[in-house]
Amino acid sequence: MKINSLAVFCGAKIGNNSIYGQHASELGEILARNNINLIYGGGNKGIMGSIADAVMKHGGSVTGIIPGLLLEWEVQHKGITDLIIVEDMHIRKKKIYELCDAALVLPGGFGTLDELFEMLTWNQLSIHNKQIFILNSDGFYDHLIQHIYRLEENNFLYEPVEKRIAVLKNPKDLLSFISS
């Protein structure tokens, strides 16, 4: 699979485990060094800011998609390659999906989970066919991954989990997918 642009969904907060920010920075460096454009929510805070900063620091390209509502909160990242302002959160997600070749989910809150499950649903409905990665930093998503397998075990999914989701333990695990 050739990945030229990777959507990253993650928290606008940093969380309480330093590994989350560390993994975001490592991932940003990997993206920059492999000429993969980061497509993300356009924020400058939390894990979102960490990954964008790391990509830019290492000479990479970052495209942020942000709804006008968040501009009022002054959370947009002003130091990235391109910032696209859209009308609302729904358009933001759609634009991110359109611009990416694959998606990766880092730790985050409700918005991150919303983005993960919408992308999985769109895969299931054949709206797109993009690989989805979960970076399970320090086991952050262990319970969610267990529940996703429970959906499969109880016959609520249309295909095996592994067909749509690859779980990574650290950012370097992505290299085996982008180099294949």
The answer to whether the CB of 8 falls within 8 A of the CB of 106 is yes
The answer to whether the CB of 68 falls within 8 A of the CB of 35 is no
CATH assignment, 5-175: 3.40.50.450
pLDDT tens readout for residues 37-46: 999 999 999 9
Report the DSSP pairing between strands 131-135 and 165-168: parallel
pLDDT computed for residue 71 by the predictor: 81
Tokens of 46: 């939390």
Q: What percent of the chain has pLDDT over 90?
A: 88
The answer to whether the CB of 37 falls within 8 A of the CB of 61 is yes
pLDDT computed for residue 84 by the predictor: 96
Measure the CA–CA gap between 49 and 44, rounded to whole angstroms.
4
Please state the domain extents for the chain.
5-175
pLDDT computed for residue 136 by the predictor: 98
pTM above 0.75, yes or no: yes
The answer to whether the CB of 75 falls within 8 A of the CB of 48 is no
pLDDT tens readout for residues 56-97: 999 999 999 999 988 877 689 999 999 999 999 999 999 999
Residue 149 identity = Y
Backbone angles phi, psi at 57, to 5 degrees: -60, -35
DSSP conformation class of 43: B
Measure the CA–CA gap between 24 and 5, rounded to whole angstroms.
16
Measure the CA–CA gap between 122 and 19, rounded to whole angstroms.
30
The answer to whether the CB of 27 falls within 8 A of the CB of 106 is yes
Facing residues of 5 across strands?
Answer: 37
